[in-house]
Amino acid sequence: MRIAIVRTPEAGTTCGSGLVASALAAAGHHVGIHTDRPADPELVAPAGGAGTLRIGDLGADCDLGADCDPGDYCDLRDDLAAAWSDAPPDVVHAVGPAAARAAAATGLPLVLSLPVLSLPAGAPGPGSGSTAGAAPDVARVLASSEDQHTALLRHGVPRTRLRTVPACVDTDAFTPHGPALRRGDRPRLVVLGSLAPGAGAGTAIRALAGVRGAELLVAGGTEGEDPDRARLFRVAREAGVADRVRFLGPVAATAMPRLLRSADVVVAAAGYDVPVAPVLQTMACSRPVVASAVGGLQDAVVDRVTGVHVRPGRPDEVRVALRGLLADDAMRTGYGIAGRDRAVSRFDRARIAEALGEVYAEVVADLPVPATAGERRGNREPVAAG
């Protein structure tokens, strides 16, 4: 099958479309991905199989956020139409509403993925607002969790067009075995991802005050001056744990497995639905997770099997969960083993690519069959037999 994936900047780094594109190509599909990040380390050409992977750069000037000029959609639409003029794809997978608006104008069958959107009313963080009008002729809309599935139904997406396909993880790169970041004798906790208010780092820092002797490594944010990192340092100082919190800044994808293997527990205590990739990577490295029971986190982490669920915004519950896990080596080991099994069986990129392939096949099968010459003539002329 010929598949085109269009990923614009509004999609951020949440969708794993690079992993999916490479896995689809490895499964034998011919994939073209149009992205603002052509150097994405997830975009790896398949080692074998009959498929291909071609990468198109949308360019540094591509800016299709919520406030972009409508003419920008036309520019992207024209670029896509030109790229597909000789060999149009069988199906287009747009990641984000802006990509969908541009791709829909080409008239090709369209599948839409959206960034996480199920925020509680008034919660801080990234939300995409109403999605029902993202594109007029979307054949399928993909939810990444049961929570997002429910939210999309509330936003008016027809149930018949809605499918749930979770995020994926590269279980070959993220494994329990391999080098780990150097550490001392202290129990080590790790927080990954966004440092924005409500994304979970602040809750983990406040919980650390009640976890004697442990250190907390906070990975994420931006290079150089980062207001969120400065705010979290103040939180650590007020909580009396500034000497036990280390801010690593952004961590390269290639270094992430070493960081995760060095952790005793990873904390994902967000107050709203956040990208689940860091938790899947943690589970693939056989490390237990303390996670808020929201959105994709609730789907990924099985309470008391691969980690512990806590209510959002409750440092006291995080503290209790961490104390229990750090005091029980066997429990941490068991949760880690179960997490690895779940990551491989449910979220491995090859399995997610297979699930997406089934959705694409549905879309293609629903297309109207082109009329034959005789059918186009109708009753005006008899069709010659033989």
Per-residue pLDDT of 65-117, as tens digits, reads 444 454 455 677 788 888 888 889 999 999 888 788 888 888 899 999 887 65
φ/ψ region of 200 (left if φ > 0, alpha if ψ in -120 to 50, else beta) reads: left
The secondary structure element, H or E, covering residue 164 is strand 162-164
Tokens 């979307």 sit on residue: 138
Please state the φ and ψ torsions of residue 201, each to the nearest 5 degrees: -65, -40
- DSSP labels, 286-336: T--EEEESSHHHHHHSPBTTTEEEE-TT-HHHHHHHHHHHHT-HHHHHHHH
Q: How many helices (H) and strands (E) does the chain have?
A: 13, 13
Please tell me the pTM assigned to this model: 0.86
Residue among 178, 240, 188 nearest 218 (CA): 188
**Domain ranges in the chain with CATH number 3.40.50.2000:** 2-168+348-365, 188-346
DSSP 382: P
Please state the φ and ψ torsions of residue 185, each to the nearest 5 degrees: -90, -15
Please state the separation of Cα 53 from the chain's center in Å: 20
> What pLDDT is stored for residue 104 in this prediction?
87
pLDDT in tens, 269-304: 999 999 999 999 999 999 999 999 999 999 999 999
- Cα–Cα distance for residue pair 252/239, rounded to 1 Å: 29
Q: State the amino acid at position 178 in one-letter form.
A: G
- For 2-168+348-365, CATH number out of 3.40.50.620, 2.40.280.10, 1.10.3720.10, 3.40.50.2000 equals 3.40.50.2000
> What pLDDT is stored for residue 111 in this prediction?
95
- Coil, strand or helix at 154: helix
> What pLDDT is stored for residue 122 in this prediction?
36
> What pLDDT is stored for residue 75 in this prediction?
73
- Cα–Cα distance for residue pair 102/107, rounded to 1 Å: 10
> What pLDDT is stored for residue 76 in this prediction?
78
Burial track 346-375 (b if 16+ CB lie within 10 A, e otherwise): bbbbbbbbebbbebbeebeeeeeeeeeeee
Whether residue 265 contacts residue 282, with contact meaning beta carbons closer than 8 Å, is answered with: no
Residues of the chain with pLDDT under 70: 9-17, 36-50, 57-74, 116-136, 370-386
> What pLDDT is stored for residue 382 in this prediction?
36
- Cα–Cα distance for residue pair 89/149, rounded to 1 Å: 27
> What pLDDT is stored for residue 58 in this prediction?
59
The secondary structure element, H or E, covering residue 298 is helix 295-300
Q: Which CATH class is domain 188-346?
A: alpha beta
